[in-house]
Amino acid sequence: MTEIFTYDRFQAGALLGVWEEAIDVALLEQWAAIFGSHSRDVPARDHGLAVACMMRAYLGVVSPRPPGNIHARQKLSILSRLGPGDVLRSEIWCREKEMRRERHYLTLEVVGSAGEGRPVYAGEMSLIWAA
């Protein structure tokens, strides 16, 4: 059994893990079904896919987690589009860890790349950690 990610396990500056996901036709079709395959707003659909992939990477790497965490804020910069055949590699880093008003605050960075290191996205999540 994997040890739960309690606040004490996080260290500022540490790589928490890497998540790889193949961007295949089946995944793109699933996303189109959720977002709407007839949408005229292709950039918004593609950006939404990047957000979903970032969250899947976070959920896959930072697991198991204690119940009661609060996802307080998120930033994401889209640097390039994902397409069929890409393998998205996401690194999850703990950037900051601090106590404020007796609460555990974390800032995690998620950086995604594809192919030979082509930047896809750079994201940051601010969390209030339960335990």
Domains by residue range for the chain, with CATH: 11-129 (3.10.129.10)
Residue 81 is predicted with a pLDDT of 87
Q: In whole numbers, what is the pLDDT of the chain averaged over residues?
A: 91
Q: Are 64 and 6 in contact (CB under 8 A)?
A: no
Tell me the sheet residues that pair with 77: 122
Tell me the sheet residues that pair with 86: 23
Q: Are 109 and 48 in contact (CB under 8 A)?
A: no
- Counting residues of the chain whose pLDDT is more than 70, the rounded percentage is 94
Residue 58 is predicted with a pLDDT of 97
Residue 115 is predicted with a pLDDT of 87
Residue 25 is predicted with a pLDDT of 87
Cis bond before residue 64 (omega within 30° of 0): yes
Residue 37 is predicted with a pLDDT of 59
Q: Which residue has the tokens 């896959």?
A: 60
pLDDT, one tens digit per residue, over 65-122 is 999 999 999 999 999 988 889 999 999 999 999 999 999 999 999 999 998 899 999 9
Q: Are 111 and 91 in contact (CB under 8 A)?
A: yes
**CA pair distance 16, 34, nearest whole angstrom:** 30
Residue 38 is predicted with a pLDDT of 60
Question: Which of 1-5, 61-65, 103-107, 125-129 is least confident?
Answer: 1-5
**CA pair distance 91, 122, nearest whole angstrom:** 10
